[in-house]
Structure 1
Amino acid sequence: MKAELTAIIETAKEGGYWAICPEIPGANGQGETIEEAKESLKMAIQLILEDRLADIRTGATRRRY
């Protein structure tokens, strides 16, 4: 299954770039180049989704605020 998500990439004041995905709370990345920031964000999204899937499989619940 494939999905399209939004990546917002901005220049960091201290140098490099930061990236966020507004559709997935907590998904963010950073890097010295735009490509590094994208890859870091992709990894963060993957880890978050894997964690949520594991919760579903084990029946764990999380509080949403």
Structure 2
Amino acid sequence: MTSEKRNANMIIAKAGGNASQNAYNCKVSIPKTWADKLGVSVNDKSLSLEFDGNSIVIKKA
């Protein structure tokens, strides 16, 4: 399998509800083609995230 790399920006938004004043939500969008290849769909969107302190790995749960 060949690796595809893309640059992205973190989407950071102030958290609402009962969150503290300094709370933020952080999100990263991935291309739909990548989501399709992972098998993610509107009805089956569970993912497994792994963080080792330097990198994040996203896998289909």
Could you say which TM-score interval applies, normalised by the shorter chain?
Answer: 0.3 to 0.5
Q: Which has the larger radius of gyration?
A: 2
Q: More strand per residue: 1 or 2?
A: 2
Question: When the two structures are superposed, what TM-score results if normalisation uses the length of structure 2?
Answer: 0.35
Structure-1-length-normalised TM-score: 0.34
